[in-house]
Chain A
């Protein structure tokens, strides 16, 4: 399972899950700044890896931060997070008949990396759900729906 992940503790947890699974887990980079070149580079990397995975008919999970979906960490990270969510929905539409799932997980500060890895693994297993946003934590409650 290809893994694009910066935070080490999350990468380690995902490593433990990926041996017997194929597909892409793309964790949006927490260090992306507000310079357009950084945003463009991150979205382009997501495009390349997602295209590669789906061309091989392998599932995709994007991992973003709930605060980024709500624009709380500046425009750069916000554009990446919501851009990935929309891209996931489109990719899911294009691959639903083939039974290849594309989903998004929104994590929070303090999300247990092992729990995140478990959800990534679960979303890699089947054809359902697809095109979904899974919130880990409760920070999204009472806030804007993506």
Chain B
């Protein structure tokens, strides 16, 4: 069984690779960043079978490289579209370049990769990593639109790929990644104060939810969006 994970070099991506790898999947770990090497070294040290693919998923050659690696690995069963970037700005100040960059990576790459890989899956599970920002988030017009678009993609694919392939989305809130830790302490503190769970989520918690959606334990769930945000969608 093979699992493809994009955005594998980041905090959530690494946790995803680890969780799926420990469940016995061969992991095709995809990222544009050279930091992918570090992730692969860590995972291999934990006896996880990993095939790294350093690729730009906004290009045809990048998509083809992942498809080739998936074919080589064989038995593709799980695809996790996790790659994402931010270029935050209020809409009135947002440049078209930053708008397109985020849409192309967060939504376009997920869509094109899924189209390229779905026919390699006889059965299995596709999980799109959206964001709680799909509900709306100040200063993230582009990011929010891209993550909202993933919700529509999830629903459409859930209908067209059923019954053999299930498609769901996970929408994380504030997760303790390097990106979150780059937020100034006072700002981060105010953000955490708004979370009923009174803390940031851990990448491993997101990975556990994704593993559940990848497994037969969730065999009757498709086309859904599961928010993992400590209750932030309810608080003021």
Contacts and interface: CB of A to CB of B under 8 A. Distances in A.
Interface of A: 36, 39-40, 43-44, 47-48, 50-51, 54-55, 68-75, 77-94, 131, 144, 146
Interface string B93-111: 0101001100110011001
The listed residue with most A CB atoms (<10 A of its CB), out of B92, B96, B137, B148, is B148
B134 A86 contact: yes
Q: Could you say which interface size class chain B belongs to?
A: 35 or more
A70 B142 CA distance: 21
Nearest to B104: A40
Given A50-B91, A89-B136, A83 B152 contact: yes
Contacts of A55: 92
A39 B33 CA distance: 27
B68 interface: no
A34 to B, nearest CB: 8
A54 B31 CA distance: 36
A36 B156 contact: no
A94 B152 contact: no
B91 A82 contact: no
Could you tell me the dominant secondary structure of chain A's interface residues?
helix
A144 B155 contact: yes
Interface in B71-98: 90-92, 94, 96
Interface of B: 90-92, 94, 96, 99-100, 103-104, 107-108, 111-112, 133-142, 144-160, 223-224
A144 B152 contact: no
B148 to A, nearest CB: 2
Contact of B92 (A54, A69, A84, A93): A54
Given A86-B145, A91-B91, A93-B136, A44 B99 contact: yes
Given A51-B91, A83-B146, A90 B155 contact: no
A86 B111 contact: no
B156 A71 contact: yes
Given A71-B154, A74-B156, A74-B160, A86 B149 contact: yes
B152 A91 contact: no
A127 to B, nearest CB: 17
Contacts of B138: 90, 93-94
